[in-house]
Structure 1
Amino acid sequence: MSKRAKVDGGRLEFIPPQMPTLVEQPPESEEWVHEAELDGYRTQIIIDKGGVHLYSKSGRDWTTKYWPIALAVELSCRAAILDGEVIVSGERGTPGSPELEATIWNEPSRLVFVAFDILHLDGRNLAPLPLLQRKQALRQLVEPGVGKIQYSEHFEGDALSVFRAIEKIGLNGVISKRADSRYRSGPSRTWLKARYSRKPISNC
């Protein structure tokens, strides 16, 4: 599969996702921003002349499995590629992965897509832009709030404080991303994943 979005008769191609590298602790440098690690299925939404399609991280078309999300996509654009995660919200709004597979088959109306990146918008390839510019474009397209298509907020500042706060609300960890990084398919050192463990976190 192509690593760049190409248009073929008005159709956009799937872009293999950028994948974070697992680390013990999130980076402390101010060059990084942080997002909650969502416990769901990595998914890409493509909007073009062919309609709305949802793809797994390997490029399989899962539109039929995620049909309530596909029907809910009403964004102010002609064409776009969104990168994100399909989750099922728990009672307090936190993801509950043990429920996800059962929900897909039994209660698909409970599925939610949380968008954290945008790679293409109305004929423009956004992948070479810095992360924060892409996030700004995404936030203008997907307004924060509730609904089936949600925006994933990022956090700046003390990485360990963010890490602890995320753990307290029951999530698994944090994804740290370089604020100035472009989007590149495959394993990446500009996206880092730190998962919570029961071992104390040292400030040293």
Structure 2
Amino acid sequence: MRTKMRFNMRKGAAALAGGVLALGVLTACGDDDAASGSPFDKKGQAASDQGGSGGGKNDSGGKGGKVPAELVGVWTTGSVSTINYEDAMTGALAPPSGTHSELTLKSDGSYSQNGLLQSTVYNCTTSLFVMEEGKASVQGDKITFKPSKLKTTMQNTCSKSGNHTNKDGEKKTTVDTFELTEDEYGPLLRLTDDTGASSDYRPEK
């Protein structure tokens, strides 16, 4: 919603999210032919398939699941632009550009991902929200995401033609390489798609 946000959206998140961001910039500049997209790509890597405490905030699923314990939980990723636009008339600041994605993995193999991709140019803001649910399975250092539900909501403050709510998005199975590691900021789940684009997720606090 995957920046990929694996929102996210996992689905070729990187490429998809990039396309949506480009779309946001185009529509923000007044393009009335805004198209819809579903960007979200999940990225991250797990270290082992054995047990252990989960890296993300624990959200238990069924028993004897398809996802190793260290991947079970809630993981987040995102970034916000440091560039802000100010309304010349009111002096109010426009919403910042940025992304945010929350990936929840359960031990029974179910997953969900919610993502927001937002682009602001001057006084025009384009926001894309993606909600995805499905099944995940792990084999070695590969994690496969098979969505059963994918909905997108697009809102553009300057061009209404492309706006939509809860529109069905393309449900495409994706396979990411995952790595569970740690840096100076703590645990880190890195998901890398088949193009080499990666996203770093942190445990929800």
Given the two structures, how large is their TM-score scaled by the length of structure 2? 0.29
Greater per-residue strand proportion: 2
Given the two structures, how large is their TM-score scaled by the length of structure 1? 0.29
Greater per-residue helix proportion: 1
